Structure 1
Amino acid sequence: MKILVADDEFFARKAIVQMIQDWDASTLVIEAEDGTAALKIIDEEVPDLLITDIRMPGMDGIQLAAHIRKNHPSILVTIISGYDDFTYAREAIQYKVENYLLKPVDRQELTPLLKQLKERVADRQETSLEFAMSACFYEEAGRNLPALEAALGSRNYESHTMVFLHHPSQYRELTTIAKEVFLRNNLQTFIMTDKFQPQLLIAWIRSKTASGQGLHDSVHSLCDRINRKLTGITGESCAAIGISSALTDLRQLDVSLKEAKLAALQSFVHGHGKTVRIEHIGNVYHYDAALIQEWTGVFNQKAINHQVTEMAGMIRSWLADSAKKQFSVHMVQDSLAAAVNMINTLIGRSNSETASSYIEQRNLFEFTSIHEAGEDLIAKLSTVIEQLKRSEAKRDIVQDIKDFVEANYKNRIVLDDLAKHRYFVDPSYLSRLFKRKCGMGFTQYLLSVRMDKAKKLLESTSYHLPIATVASEVGFNDYSYFIQMYRKVYGATPGKSRSEKNPKNY
């Protein structure tokens, strides 16, 4: 705490200074011999507390209180006055002066007041630090940095940010244990709840001395110690613990928080509250793009065939392997995103009734374990597949294919593509179903539609299109092949067919 004592009476001022130092030798005490000197110190040093005589040359205590109220409202003010000045001292009430001491100042009155004011200063500093730290964690650090450095000091000592995922009932015990462990190791400590996810406890620590550099390895062991103590008291460990890389620039606090959260997500995926440093991702935990692609391909095929049991088994097996085979959190998130996207694609291609059931990919921190996250996804996809089955039972897929062909016969149409990307069913099943209901295969049906359209264009009296243009209009890029197919279907070439229908044009 920093205290300014302003009094033009030399011995009275020295007596107060001595009483303060006797009370707490660590307190920084600054002296001012009159109001003018006090004003300069207030603006330059911004003390936590001003103890001022009410009457001084240059500027009196009331004027100092008014200046502080306007320019430095965080400074606490205590006025010293004699009995004759009490009425005048009451004017200080309008400037939020709450404490008064009578001359001569008595040690038994000053000491309890100092203790009380020290607690108030500590509370204000903590509030100010929390505001500045939160602003630097979540916003632009530049404009908030001066306030943070004022609260923490601008020393470029090594620091780390940690994130603890815990059960709400563990908050108080976890906070107490973390503060105790860090402070016992002579570390500057700040602890707060995450702004967006209250189940995350954020801890920032920094060495108090230059000799404390090289915290990197010890931070890991300190987190493990906190977790063991928490387990001993509550019977349950943290669900995840993540540690950022070493930081010396407070302007990078937002980066360090993101790193700590990512490391905590990796810890969450691994399970059992294992402490993870951000450096572990990529070094210990790996990403295999080929494996994700293979898994996604099989999963999508199961989804196309509505094989809920097999899909659920794949998700459970994949998440179990994530810990055993040390998949990176990015790999796990990408695979879950692929599963969610596939289910949402199925929903989007169905009717509007099921489209209201789109699955949202939830933040993993919302769950107590990766197993719970997997079961939540399985439950949702089971519901969606059941909805899709009911929807498809009411829909005539073959008629839908006919309607699609009628609208798109000019374009390239392949039944396998329709099965995989439009109806999400097995291509061989769709082929058999179409032939059974139509009495002909899909390729033959598509050809018959195109030939019918071509014949109508050729026989039209409204306009006389070149045969090559007719071929293109009904989906044929190969003119010779069009002639061949037309002759096969109608027993004559397109030109002959046209001349027979419209002999006057030839």
Structure 2
Amino acid sequence: MCTPESRTFTAMNIGSVLAAPPILERASKSKYRRRRSMTMNILVVEDEFYTRKALVQLILDWNSASKVFEAEDGLEALEMMDTCKPDLVFSDIRMPRIDGLELLALIREKYPSVVSVIISGYDDFIYAQQAIRFKAEQYLLKPVERQEMVALLNRISEHKVSSAEIWLEERLAACLYEEQSFASESNEFGSIDAYTTAVLRADGLQRDIVKQIARRMLSMRGIPFVLSNDRRHSDMVILWMYATDASKDNHLRDRQQILQDVIQAYAETAGGVLSIGLSTVKRDVRELAKSYIEAKHAVLYRLIMGNNIVFDASDMGAVTPYNHEWMNNWITQIDHKVINNRFGDAASLVRKLIAEVSEVRLSVHALYDMCAKITAILNSFIESENKRTGELMPYVEQIDLHQYDSTDEIADKLANLMESAASKLASSSSKFDITEDMKLYVQQHFHQEIILEDLAKNKYFTDPSYLSRLFKNKVGTSFSQYLLSYRMNKAKSLLESDFILSVSDVASAVGYSDYSYFIQMYKKHFGATPGKVKRQKTAERLASKKDSFVIFI
């Protein structure tokens, strides 16, 4: 029966076993604690009783939450593979019935995702050569050094965490940006019984600190999780917590308190503001995109209810109303003012409307709809004016609520749009230059995701191919190249002028969520990596200070 408890000794009762000559020297558990380790299922295949128990204890010393299973030979190990679903197999070579190398070959054939490690007392080149052939992670000789074993476990666990993060980011990208359906086969997590998604929104360029704190606290609680940067918003982190065993999903039930502890730790560590949106618990992994959207909506309640709070999507609907009639009354008044060219009065009404949103605590969905309807009012008026005058005034973009820190900022934005529309409509006498507006858009939004097709469809209401040709004909370069050059020059300026920002911070500041891709583009553009440029400028600055000091002396 595949039960780790039935064939695993605890730290208390294994003392008598270790009275025999151990293969490993005991050491402090805390010394080897790994922040990025993840709980793994580990199968130890060894026919020597004392050696097997010592290996089991070493693994538990490394991570007491690990599930460790035991088999006395290769045949028993094969019979356990489907039920125990190990992530990692430690196997001796010489064993009865099926030896370690044959077991390794069968695991490689039937379970290619399982990591295998050979532990043997034979320093034999032929054995090692065969182990390499069957893709063994490592060939360890007895007696095994404790530090060597712990380093190996850390490396494998780290790889699992990294692979999981990459997998989640790819799945989210496929679901959210490529509109692909989610498939649960062949993922890094095996059978997922339940999961929940959280979106963590921090002030400033603090994503790395947020991830470090969340990773540390969740690891301490033994919660399986994956962290990933949000590709749409550079101040957000996606946290995915999951359970692979229905009997152990209590952590998901305590998820709100756990995340509130993360907020407190962030406030104590960084002294900043952190708000978290949390989805409901899901059991169908194909609803990953839905879970993400729930969390993304939930975190917006910080605009209405304040920061440093965990906003649970399962509670928000009952707490905050929509109040359709109340909202439409306001929108009708604003529309009437705009139609009559009374933009000053319309701007005042907008400020009053948004201020009351927080007072009556309307739902985020109501706030979304308000902003959309006010934008539609403006665009309707702009369209009618364009037809009347024959000019091409750009339409107003839909507001992305995630970019704002408060409802006051949203009110200012909408009111300013009203006032700006009035000013432009009154003073516009020359034809609108769409290419200059595109360049201005890049200068104002280079730190965000910019896609030409989106601009053509949602901002300029024209064909993307036409917009691309128009830009290249007038500017002399393609839009993508102009955007790249502008971002690279901004990055260079930041690297040369701000010695506190890391290369990762600079990448985020100029619109790159993929750190490696940013380095690749920077090197291609300037012929040197950003890290090298930063080091050179730092050295030049230090040398300059040194020369100034010598002259002063």
Whole-angstrom distance in 1 between the partners of 2:183 and 2:425: 53
Match of 1:86 among 113, 118, 125: 125
**Is residue 347–residue 354 contact of structure 1 (8 Å, CA) maintained in 2?**
no
Asked if 1:75 is matched to 2:111, the reply is no
> Who wins on radius of gyration, i.e. which is larger?
1
Identify if the C-alpha distance between structure 1 residues 32 and 195 changes in structure 2 by more than 3 Å, giving closer, same or farther.
farther
Asked if 1:334 is matched to 2:366, the reply is no
Asked if 1:388 is matched to 2:425, the reply is yes
Asked if 1:259 is matched to 2:294, the reply is yes
| Unaligned stretches of 5+ residues in structure 2 | 1-39, 432-553
Match of 2:57 among 6, 16, 22: 22
Asked if 1:316 is matched to 2:351, the reply is yes
Whole-angstrom distance in 2 between the partners of 1:221 and 1:2: 28
Query: What's 2:267 paired with?
Result: 231
Query: What's 2:86 paired with?
Result: 47
Asked if 1:302 is matched to 2:337, the reply is yes
**Is residue 286–residue 327 contact of structure 1 (8 Å, CA) maintained in 2?**
yes
| Unaligned stretches of 5+ residues in structure 1 | 395-506
- What residue identity is the alignment partner of 1:48? D
What displacement does 1:365 show?
0.8
What displacement does 1:99 show?
2.3
Secondary structure (helix, strand or coil) at the match of 1:355 reads coil
Deviation string 1:182-208 (CA, Å, 9 cap, x unpaired) is 566675554433353342233345689
- What residue identity is the alignment partner of 1:326? R
Query: What's 1:33 paired with?
Result: 73
Deviation string 1:400-428 (CA, Å, 9 cap, x unpaired) is xxxxxxxxxxxxxxxxxxxxxxxxxxxxx
Moved over 6 A (4+): 135-138, 206-209
What displacement does 1:360 show?
1.4
Structural mapping, 1:351-370, within 5 Å: 351=386, 354-370=391-407
Secondary structure (helix, strand or coil) at the match of 1:77 reads strand
Whole-angstrom distance in 1 between the partners of 2:90 and 2:311: 50
Identify if the C-alpha distance between structure 1 residues 384 and 354 changes in structure 2 by more than 3 Å, giving closer, same or farther.
farther
What displacement does 1:271 show?
3.7
Whole-angstrom distance in 1 between the partners of 2:282 and 2:197: 8
Secondary structure (helix, strand or coil) at the match of 2:70 reads strand
Structural mapping, 1:12-411, within 5 Å: 13-25=48-60, 26=64, 28-34=68-74, 36-42=75-81, 45-54=84-93, 61-80=100-119, 85-102=124-141, 105-107=142-144, 109=145, 111-130=146-165, 139=175, 143-144=183-184, 147=187, 150=190, 154=193, 160-182=196-218, 189-205=225-241, 219-238=255-274, 240-247=275-282, 252-351=287-386, 354-391=391-428
- What residue identity is the alignment partner of 2:73? E
- What residue identity is the alignment partner of 2:424? Q
Identify if the C-alpha distance between structure 1 residues 358 and 189 changes in structure 2 by more than 3 Å, giving closer, same or farther.
same
Whole-angstrom distance in 2 between the partners of 1:183 and 1:53: 31
Whole-angstrom distance in 2 between the partners of 1:384 and 1:319: 19
Identify if the C-alpha distance between structure 1 residues 143 and 224 changes in structure 2 by more than 3 Å, giving closer, same or farther.
closer
Deviation string 1:16-69 (CA, Å, 9 cap, x unpaired) is 3022023234551422424x5555545664433333444567665445444444
What displacement does 1:142 show?
6.9
Whole-angstrom distance in 2 between the partners of 1:359 and 1:119: 52
Whole-angstrom distance in 2 between the partners of 1:98 and 1:287: 57
- What residue identity is the alignment partner of 2:344? T
Query: What's 2:23 paired with?
Result: none
**Is residue 205–residue 235 contact of structure 2 (8 Å, CA) maintained in 1?**
no
Whole-angstrom distance in 2 between the partners of 1:55 and 1:182: 40
Quote the RMSD (CA, aligned, Å). Answer: 3.9
- What residue identity is the alignment partner of 2:403? E
- What residue identity is the alignment partner of 1:30? E
**Is residue 228–residue 237 contact of structure 1 (8 Å, CA) maintained in 2?**
no
Identify if the C-alpha distance between structure 1 residues 82 and 291 changes in structure 2 by more than 3 Å, giving closer, same or farther.
closer
Percentage of pairs with the same residue: 26
**Is residue 4–residue 31 contact of structure 1 (8 Å, CA) maintained in 2?**
yes
Secondary structure (helix, strand or coil) at the match of 2:371 reads helix
Deviation string 1:332-372 (CA, Å, 9 cap, x unpaired) is 21121111111111222233765351111032112333333
- What residue identity is the alignment partner of 1:76? V
**Is residue 73–residue 98 contact of structure 2 (8 Å, CA) maintained in 1?**
no
Identify if the C-alpha distance between structure 1 residues 278 and 43 changes in structure 2 by more than 3 Å, giving closer, same or farther.
closer
Whole-angstrom distance in 2 between the partners of 1:100 and 1:211: 34
Q: How many residues align?
A: 379
What displacement does 1:148 show?
6.5
**Is residue 135–residue 144 contact of structure 1 (8 Å, CA) maintained in 2?**
no
Structure with more helix by fraction: 1
Whole-angstrom distance in 1 between the partners of 2:417 and 2:250: 49
- What residue identity is the alignment partner of 1:290? E
Whole-angstrom distance in 1 between the partners of 2:79 and 2:310: 51
Identify if the C-alpha distance between structure 1 residues 183 and 83 changes in structure 2 by more than 3 Å, giving closer, same or farther.
closer
What displacement does 1:84 show?
7.1
Identify if the C-alpha distance between structure 1 residues 393 and 317 changes in structure 2 by more than 3 Å, giving closer, same or farther.
farther
What displacement does 1:292 show?
2.3
Whole-angstrom distance in 2 between the partners of 1:284 and 1:85: 69
- What residue identity is the alignment partner of 1:385? A
**Is residue 184–residue 285 contact of structure 2 (8 Å, CA) maintained in 1?**
no
Whole-angstrom distance in 2 between the partners of 1:61 and 1:131: 32
What displacement does 1:262 show?
1.9
What displacement does 1:273 show?
4.4
Whole-angstrom distance in 1 between the partners of 2:291 and 2:166: 17
Whole-angstrom distance in 2 between the partners of 1:80 and 1:176: 34
